[in-house]
């Protein structure tokens, strides 16, 4: 006989099922698109460049986010978290590593594209590998800190997934949040803004607008901005006074970022799109200069 668990406080049964369905759809779409990005890189020789290795770093991080969303969706359908407190800590850590690495990879791609368009210098394999090792290591450092007591992982309002606990907003949370936000959100956002602004000015002078230079920055702000605002709101005001449904919205919105990133950096990249087409159909596109064509 299947045990029936109560609906999480502040939600109806339809809302819990609806959130689980959205999370599942986001996870499936992101997994499909980023998996296609990775397989194309592996199968198509022309795509194997240092610049595209940064895109693979982003795709791997985003697949990690999709796995996190899969688990959250499954738990939502169960209406409870089945993996205990230790599972909650692991889920929070895994999600944070993936999220921070995804944001940092976006910044690394922007930095690389600035050099491609503005300084005409190409990325070397050694530099690309070093950048990826640093950003993943730095993301792991911040993600592991709550496991050692600086910050804390706990349940989301739906209580079917886990993330950084902002409900207490004590000195421990504040001392962790400010450097985390500075190094892992504000600095990447600044790098992206300045890099793409410089690229836009360069394209404006040449009259050749090869892509929308504002789209990557907008997507990062839209997907992760609400979550950041919620964490900072918790510092000045008790966030638990907000309805549980409202507090779940930033987390659900952030989970769409893997699909958005795959579209912007993979499918939206002219050279990479040609490689994906070649992988899917076997038809080689005339021009696949992935170092010079980017989104």
Per-residue pLDDT reduced to its tens digit, 148-181: 999 999 999 999 999 999 988 889 999 999 999 9
Tell me the backbone φ, ψ of residue 6, rounded to 5 degrees.
Answer: -65, 155
Q: Is residue 68 part of a domain?
A: yes
- Give how far Cα 75 sits from Cα of 99, 132, 139, 163, 255, Å: 20, 32, 26, 14, 15
Would you state the pLDDT for residue 191? 97
pLDDT band of 4, cuts 50, 70, 90: low
Q: Is residue 199 part of a domain?
A: yes
Mean pLDDT computed over every residue of the chain: 90
pLDDT band of 207, cuts 50, 70, 90: confident
- Quote the number of domains for the chain: 1
Q: Is residue 286 part of a domain?
A: no
Residue with token string 């400010």: 178
Task: Check whether 288 has a pLDDT greater than 60.
Answer: no
Task: Check whether 223 has a pLDDT greater than 80.
Answer: yes
Distance CA 17, CA 56 (A): 33
Residue 91: which residues within 8 A CB-CB, separation 6 or more? Answer: 68, 71, 72, 83, 153, 161, 162
Of the candidates 229, 216, 141, 148, the one whose C-alpha atom is nearest the C-alpha of residue 181 is 229
- Give how far Cα 77 sits from Cα of 7, 21, 87, 88, 89, Å: 10, 8, 17, 17, 20
Distance CA 178, CA 231 (A): 10
Task: Check whether 212 has a pLDDT greater than 70.
Answer: yes
Would you state the pLDDT for residue 295? 43
For 204, other C-beta atoms within 10 Å of its C-beta total: 11
Q: CB of 295 within 8 A of CB of 268?
A: yes
Q: Which CATH number goes with the domain that contains 208?
A: 1.20.1070.10
Would you state the pLDDT for residue 283? 74
Q: Which two tokens stand for residue 79?
A: 């209406």
Q: Is residue 205 part of a domain?
A: yes
Q: Is residue 137 part of a domain?
A: yes
152 SS3 class: coil
Q: Is residue 226 part of a domain?
A: yes
Would you state the pLDDT for residue 286? 63
Q: Is residue 197 part of a domain?
A: yes
Would you state the pLDDT for residue 68? 97
Domain that holds residue 132: 13-281
Distance CA 26, CA 30 (A): 6
Tell me the backbone φ, ψ of residue 155, rounded to 5 degrees.
Answer: -70, 145
Distance CA 37, CA 266 (A): 6
Q: CB of 41 within 8 A of CB of 52?
A: yes
pTM to 2 decimals?
Answer: 0.92
- Give how far Cα 286 sits from Cα of 74, 201, 272, 274, 283, Å: 44, 29, 13, 9, 9
Q: Is residue 179 part of a domain?
A: yes
The secondary structure of the chain in percent helix, strand, coil, rounded to multiples of 5, reads 75, 0, 25
Q: Is 1 exposed, middle or buried (0-12, 13-18, 19+ CB in 10 A)?
A: exposed
pLDDT band of 208, cuts 50, 70, 90: confident
């Amino acid at each position: 006989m299947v045990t029936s668990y109560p609906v999480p406080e502040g939600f109806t049964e339809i809302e819990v099922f609806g959130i689980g369905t959205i999370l599942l759809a986001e996870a499936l779409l992101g997994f499909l698109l980023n998996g296609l990005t990775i397989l194309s890189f592996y199968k198509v020789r022309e795509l194997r460049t240092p610049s595209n290795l940064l895109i693979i770093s982003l795709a791997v991080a985003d697949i990690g986010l999709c796995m996190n969303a899969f688990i959250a969706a499954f738990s939502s359908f169960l209406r409870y978290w089945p993996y205990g407190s230790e599972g909650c800590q692991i889920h929070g850590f895994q999600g944070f590593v993936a999220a921070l690495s995804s944001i940092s990879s976006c910044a690394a791609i922007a930095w690389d594209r600035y050099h491609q368009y503005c300084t005409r210098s190409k990325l070397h394999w050694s530099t690309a590998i070093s950048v990826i090792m640093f950003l993943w290591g730095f993301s792991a450092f911040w993600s592991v800190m709550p496991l050692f007591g600086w910050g804390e992982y706990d349940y989301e309002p739906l209580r079917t997934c886990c993330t950084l606990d902002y409900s207490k907003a004590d000195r421990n949370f504040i001392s962790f949040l400010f450097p985390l936000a500075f190094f892992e959100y504000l600095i990447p956002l600044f790098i992206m803004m300045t890099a793409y602004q410089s690229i836009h000015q360069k394209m404006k002078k040449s009259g050749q607008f090869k892509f929308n230079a504002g789209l990557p920055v907008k997507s990062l702000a839209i997907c992760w901005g609400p979550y950041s605002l919620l964490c900072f709101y918790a510092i000045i005001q008790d966030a638990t006074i907000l309805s549980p449904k409202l507090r779940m919205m930033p987390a659900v919105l952030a989970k769409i970022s893997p699909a958005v990133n795959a579209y912007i950096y993979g499918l939206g990249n002219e050279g990479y799109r040609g490689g994906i087409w070649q992988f899917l159909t076997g038809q080689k596109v005339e021009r696949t200069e992935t170092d010079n064509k980017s989104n």
